[in-house]
Amino acid sequence: MMTLSISKWSLTAVVLLSMSGFVHTAVASEAAALSNVAALSNQVQAKVLVSSEGRQLTASEKPIQVKVDPQRINALVNNAKQLEPALAVERSVRIKQLSQLSKQTTSQVAPKNTLTNNAITNTASMMYVQPGLRDFTIYQAYSHLYDDFDEDGFYQTFTVTFDADVYGFSVGEPANVYAELYLSRNGGPWQHYYSTDIFTIYGEAEDDSYEVLTTLAQGYKTDYYDVLIDLYEVGYEDIVATISSEEADSLYALPLESSDRDTVYIEEEIIETEVIVSGGSTSGVMLILAVGLLIMRRKSMTS
């Protein structure tokens, strides 16, 4: 009886050990699969090449009358060819990055590796208001298309112009802000493509609009793209205002493609000359006369 009980316990232990080993193997397999999926998703991220230039419009420039200098477009195209490809970053990832960078900063300074302004201008003369206490909105936003060399209806260069307003405690109250711009291909995920410098807006003023000129150099397929703009107040980590193709028709379905797809192909025209000699008594006589005249001409030249 004792031997029988021992064998039962041994059999039970073996079964339990086998089950635990199976579960451990299954968990390890699942973890390896998730790791492979994560690695694969990182590899799938498209490399893109984009060159943008942002500037705040002057008081004399009305947004609807803004014209893009062709030299600026050419400069952007040349600059884009020298840029290193960057991984496309989705909007949710970008927001987390900005939040982390904002938490790391203790003063009212733009996040590192995000904005290129060296300092906030006229800060000393501006009334300080704790960030996050005011309301913001993007009053309007629109786009213009430029450069379609192959004339297929899809452009490699475009501008996005937007007018942001702040509702503070006084009329014309200033606020330091910056914006993050995203593109969505045919309803797909929002991909970050540009961060503006810090710029100052004043209440509901109409002459503080901001313009971003962009040339897509590489990595953007020929398709329709929507634009989204997130506005941030310097020193506050959350988005204070946003506008996209859902609110502005001019940001919807922009026909775009990168410059490596906007190529003009010149077809060479080949002209073939075909000589047909038909049979017949008349053609034969004419051919004999032509040969005779050629022989006589050669004899006269040698003599």
Question: Could you report the per-residue pLDDT of 266-302, keeping only the tens digit for each?
Answer: 665 655 656 555 555 555 556 555 556 555 655 555 5
User: How far apart (Å, rounded) are the C-alpha atoms in residues 199 and 177?
Assistant: 6
What does the pLDDT average to over 128-153? 90
Highest average pLDDT, of 71-80, 101-110, 165-174, 178-187, comes from 178-187
Q: What percent of the chain has pLDDT over 90?
A: 45
Residue 159: pLDDT above 50?
yes
The per-residue pLDDT for 273 is 55
**How many Cβ atoms are within 10 Å of 101's Cβ, its own excluded?**
16
The per-residue pLDDT for 6 is 44
**How many Cβ atoms are within 10 Å of 219's Cβ, its own excluded?**
17
Q: pTM above 0.85?
A: no
Instruction: Name the band, by pLDDT with cuts 50, 70 and 90, for residue 81.
Output: confident
Are the C-beta atoms of 149 and 207 separated by less than 8 Å?
Answer: no
What does the pLDDT average to over 128-141? 88
Residue 297, C-beta contacts closer than 8 angstroms, at least 6 positions apart: none
DSSP 109-148: -PPTTT---SS-TTTTTSPP--TTSSEEEEEEEEEEEE--
Instruction: Name the band, by pLDDT with cuts 50, 70 and 90, for residue 110.
Output: very low
**How many Cβ atoms are within 10 Å of 145's Cβ, its own excluded?**
15
Q: What percent of the chain has pLDDT over 70?
A: 64
Are the C-beta atoms of 181 and 229 separated by less than 8 Å?
Answer: yes
Whose tokens are 């034969």? That residue is 284
Q: What value does the mean pLDDT of the chain take?
A: 77
Q: What angle do CA 258, 264, 267 make, to 5 degrees?
A: 150
Instruction: Name the band, by pLDDT with cuts 50, 70 and 90, for residue 78.
Output: confident
Whose tokens are 């379609």? That residue is 148
User: How far apart (Å, rounded) are the C-alpha atoms in residues 267 and 158?
Assistant: 29
Residue 37: pLDDT above 60?
no
What does the pLDDT average to over 37-48? 55
Are the C-beta atoms of 244 and 226 separated by less than 8 Å?
Answer: yes
The per-residue pLDDT for 284 is 58
- Starting at the edge strand that comes first in sequence, how are the strands of the sheet with 86-87 ordered? 86-87, 47-56, 210-218, 157-167, 135-146
Residue 219: pLDDT above 70?
yes
**How many Cβ atoms are within 10 Å of 252's Cβ, its own excluded?**
16
What does the pLDDT average to over 20-27? 46
Are the C-beta atoms of 166 and 135 separated by less than 8 Å?
Answer: yes
Highest average pLDDT, of 19-28, 97-106, 241-250, comes from 241-250
The per-residue pLDDT for 130 is 80
Residue 2: pLDDT above 50?
no
The per-residue pLDDT for 169 is 84
Q: What angle do CA 178, 115, 39 make, to 5 degrees?
A: 110
Closest to 107 in 3D by CA, of 239, 238, 240, 234: 234
Per the model's pLDDT, the better-predicted residue between 230 and 78 turns out to be 230
Closest to 119 in 3D by CA, of 195, 202, 179, 199: 199
Residues recorded for the chain: 303
